Every structure is written in structure tokens, then in C-alpha cells.
Amino acid sequence: GAVVSQHPSWVICKSGTSVKIECRSLDFQATTMFWYRQFPKQSLMLMATSNEGSKATYEQGVEKDKFLINHASLTLSTLTVTSAHPEDSSFYICSARDRGRPSYEQYFGPGTRLTVT
């Protein structure tokens, strides 16, 4: 089946530094990838949609200069949290859509736990 990986699975960084999270589709080509943020005991909030080779589309209220998304290939999207602050601490989950499968199928990564101290 379709597998999506995320790296790292958890990361701790100091306030003011930047952190990059990778999302990879391991056995399929993902034309579209989605980035979600999940606060404790809350639902997933869509942050942005990234399409391979084009700029990401950010949801209202998400700072594009703070959450940089790059989708340079059909198997890799990255989310960079720039100048991280403690309020950016969260669980970040990506999902990917297989270009060879129906559009309603999304495959989720295992998530990345970011803690900013």
C-alpha cells in the first residue's frame, strides 16, 4: 500500500531557530501534499496545500513567511518553521495524494512532534 514517511518523528529546538520537516511518498508519486497542524486533544487543521513544482496555497491565518513549504519533486515536500517560538510547538502531519489513484484518497504520514523551548 501507499506509504508516507515523515522525518524527523520528533524534534526539540530553541526559540529563534528554524526547523525543517520532510514528508516523503515512498512508493508512489504525489502531485499534491497537504500539511496539517494538530494541537493537543484537537482536530487537524489544514495549513497549506502544496503542488509539485508550484507555490503552496496557504489557509487563511497561516503565515506563509513563517511556514515555508517546498514541493520540489513528486516524492518530497518540506515544511520549514522559521524563527520558531514556543507557540509553534505542535504535532505536524502531512498527507499525500497519489497521482495514479482517485482524487479522494489521501495517505497520511506518522507525524512530527515539534517542541520549541
Binding interface with another protein (CB under 8 A): 4, 6, 32, 34, 41-44, 46, 49, 57, 91, 93, 95, 97, 102-104, 106-111, 113
Beta carbon nearer to another protein, 29 or 106: 106
Q: Find residue 13's DSSP bridge partners.
A: 116
* Residues 55/61, Cβ–Cβ less than 8 Å: no
Complex with another protein: residue 18 or 114, whichever CB lies closer: 114
Q: Contact 99/31 with Cβ under 8 angstroms? A: yes
Considering the complex, what minimum distance in angstroms separates the CB of residue 110 from another protein?
A: 4
Tell me, rounded to whole angstroms, the distance of Cα 18 from its chain centroid.
15
